[in-house]
């Protein structure tokens, strides 16, 4: 494609995106297709000759779009949000246009330095300890893996990197921790058997006394307690682990403490929610995702460490071909994560932070928190529904319970209720198990979600529950 054609097609793509975002509410929020439906419309062999962009774009609309689930739909209440925003999309265009590979400072000094600056801005906005250093990772999963590798190296005086894994290093998480903790522990060589799942309290938060008890027991049995992963805003219910208590234990016993605030992290920019983020002074590493609830296109995950030297010593390799004249004066982010090649992710976050400002972002988060409050009240007022967990932010966990059904019957009822709700195609909610009970999750955090969408969701939920009753 020559640049004249690119210009023409580029305008068409922007027009299409604008129309899409304007009309996204008209799509069924969840893709209607069955497994294999998309594949069977695509040829099994690659095209021998290049095709016209008009044809490719038409196929995008006709074949691909029906197989897309619309995360930017205002009826998106599933999983957690993955916001985009026009500002962030523009920056993603520019990132693609520049096509820069930002593995070291020299391969794009502005990318490295902008990353340092936005990580510093975010650290100030969240009230994180000023001595922490930040880096943008692709996902919280990668950041947690980095934390586990660093913890492993620190605990073994960097021996595992040299000699391979020791068998007796243990990792501690609550039963409610995200699966990326388990995956990270597997990849980092701890082994699933060395993950200790600590029980939670009535609010689904890790019980610090149980953690300490388990650590003491493990030490007595010859294990080396190496890392604790605490969650601020768990995936299932939005619970907050008691980081101040966990931090004291980790400090006393010299165990790495990593905090996973992938979803909830942005809420730390709200003074009225700052109390949920106490105790960070004893934390070694911390991750949160602007790509969830902060208007920044996937992927963009901010990872902070107290001691960057430990991180880079754990991950760095130093081949001759990557050395540059400025290595001693600059940050080379290639040593701050798993991959060598790095996208210019700081640009979209910079666009978002500048165009919304701190106040704009605070308003954005407050809108969702107050909608969640509104939804919580609707449930509390309805006899046949119950709240299943405290809802501090935008996630509300609830279920139908008329007080007449046994546990199994209730689970089946709620399972079918969820299917029926999503079958209406106007909203999309997901589920989890809390205390083994089938629970519906209503995660409010989509950029364009308004009170009318929450009200509509509630109407649908009630209507479907009504239809299911004799
Ligand atoms: C608490 C928590 N941690 C980690 C993750 C994983 O995030 P990512 O997709 O950025 O790896 C999630 C995803 O929802 C999450 O809720």
* CB burial of residue 189 (10 Å; 0-12, 13-18, 19+): middle
Tokens of 376: 């919580």
**Cα(177) to centroid of ligand 1, in Å?**
10
Q: What is the mean pLDDT of the chain?
A: 97
Cβ–Cβ under 8 Å, residues 258 and 228: yes
Q: Is residue 435 part of a domain?
A: no
Is 345's pLDDT higher than 90? yes
Minimum-distance ligand 1 atom for the alpha carbon of 142: 11
Q: Is residue 35 part of a domain?
A: no
Minimum-distance ligand 1 atom for the alpha carbon of 141: 11
Mean pLDDT of 355-366: 98
**Cα(139) to centroid of ligand 1, in Å?**
7
Ligand 1 neighbourhood includes 204 CB (under 6 angstroms): no
**Cα(410) to centroid of ligand 1, in Å?**
29
* Number of independent structural domains in the chain: 1
Q: Is residue 144 part of a domain?
A: yes
Instruction: Specify the pLDDT at position 80.
Output: 98
Enter the DSSP assignment of 140.
H
Residues in the chain: 470
**Cα(293) to centroid of ligand 1, in Å?**
12
Q: Is residue 307 part of a domain?
A: yes
CATH number of the domain at 130, please: 3.40.640.10
Each residue's pLDDT tens digit, 142-189: 999 999 999 999 999 999 999 999 889 999 999 999 999 999 999 999
Minimum-distance ligand 1 atom for the alpha carbon of 80: 14
Each residue's pLDDT tens digit, 116-134: 999 999 999 999 999 999 9
Domain that holds residue 291: 93-352
Q: Is residue 236 part of a domain?
A: yes
**Cα(31) to centroid of ligand 1, in Å?**
22
DSSP reduced 3-state for 199: coil
Instruction: Specify the pLDDT at position 167.
Output: 81
The β-bridge relationship of strands 256-260 and 285-288 is: parallel
Q: For residue 234, what are the contacts with CB-CB under 8 A and spacing of at least 6? A: 174, 176, 177, 178, 204, 240, 241
Each residue's pLDDT tens digit, 283-328: 999 999 999 999 999 999 999 999 999 999 999 999 999 999 999 9
Q: Is residue 321 part of a domain?
A: yes
Ligand 1 neighbourhood includes 282 CB (under 6 angstroms): no
pTM for the full predicted model: 0.97
Q: Is residue 264 part of a domain?
A: yes
Instruction: Specify the pLDDT at position 400.
Output: 98
Each residue's pLDDT tens digit, 400-415: 999 998 989 999 999 9
Q: Is residue 58 part of a domain?
A: no
Ligand 1 neighbourhood includes 439 CB (under 6 angstroms): no
Q: For residue 287, what are the contacts with CB-CB under 8 A and spacing of at least 6? A: 137, 140, 143, 144, 147, 258, 259, 260, 261, 262, 265, 301, 302, 303, 304
Ligand 1 neighbourhood includes 140 CB (under 6 angstroms): yes
């Amino acid at each position: 494609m020559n640049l004249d054609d690119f210009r023409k097609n580029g305008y068409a793509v922007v027009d299409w995106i604008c129309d899409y975002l304007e009309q996204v509410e008209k799509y069924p929020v969840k893709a209607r297709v069955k497994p294999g439906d998309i594949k069977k419309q695509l040829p099994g062999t690659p095209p021998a000759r290049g095709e016209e962009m008009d044809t490719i774009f038409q196929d995008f609309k006709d074949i691909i779009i029906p197989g897309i689930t619309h995360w930017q739909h205002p009826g998106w209440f599933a999983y957690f949000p993955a916001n985009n925003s026009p500002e962030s999309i523009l920056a993603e265009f520019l990132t693609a246009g520049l096509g820069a590979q930002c593995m070291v400072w020299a391969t794009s000094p502005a990318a490295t330095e902008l990353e340092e600056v936005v990580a510093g801005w975010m650290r100030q906005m969240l009230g994180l300890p000023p001595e922490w250093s930040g880096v943008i990772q692709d996902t919280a999963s990668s950041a947690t893996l980095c934390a586990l590798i660093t913890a492993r190296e620190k605990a073994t005086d960097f021996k595992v990197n040299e000699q391979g894994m020791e068998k007796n290093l243990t990792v501690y998480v609550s039963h409610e921790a995200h699966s990326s903790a388990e995956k990270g522990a597997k990849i980092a060589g701890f082994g699933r058997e060395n993950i200790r799942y600590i029980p939670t309290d009535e609010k689904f938060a890790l019980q610090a006394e149980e953690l300490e008890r388990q650590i003491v027991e493990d030490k007595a049995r010859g294990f080396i307690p190496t890392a604790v992963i605490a969650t601020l805003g768990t995936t299932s219910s939005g619970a907050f682990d008691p980081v101040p208590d966990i931090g004291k234990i980790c400090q006393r016993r010299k165990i790495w403490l990593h905090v996973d605030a992938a979803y909830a992290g942005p809420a730390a920019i709200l003074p009225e929610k700052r109390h949920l983020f106490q105790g960070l002074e004893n934390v070694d590493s911390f991750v949160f995702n602007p790509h969830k609830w902060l208007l920044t296109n996937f992927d963009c995950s901010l990872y902070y460490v107290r001691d960057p030297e430990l991180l880079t010593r754990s991950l760095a390799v130093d081949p001759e071909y990557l050395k540059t004249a400025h290595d001693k004066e600059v940050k080379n982010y290639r040593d701050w994560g798993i991959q060598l090649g790095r996208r210019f992710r700081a640009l979209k976050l910079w666009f978002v932070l500048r165009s919304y400002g701190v106040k704009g972002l605070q308003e954005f988060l407050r809108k969702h928190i107050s909608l969640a409050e509104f939804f919580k009240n609707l449930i509390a007022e309805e006899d046949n529904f119950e709240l299943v967990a405290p809802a501090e932010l935008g996630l509300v966990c609830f279920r139908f319970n008329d007080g007449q059904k046994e546990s199994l019957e209730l689970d089946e009822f709620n399972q079918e209720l969820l299917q029926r709700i999503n079958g209406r195609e106007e909203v999309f909610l997901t589920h989890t198990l809390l205390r083994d009970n089938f629970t519906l999750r209503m995660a409010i955090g989509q950029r364009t979600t308004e009170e009318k969408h929450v009200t509509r969701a509630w109407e649908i939920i009630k209507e479907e529950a009504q239809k299911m009753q004799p």
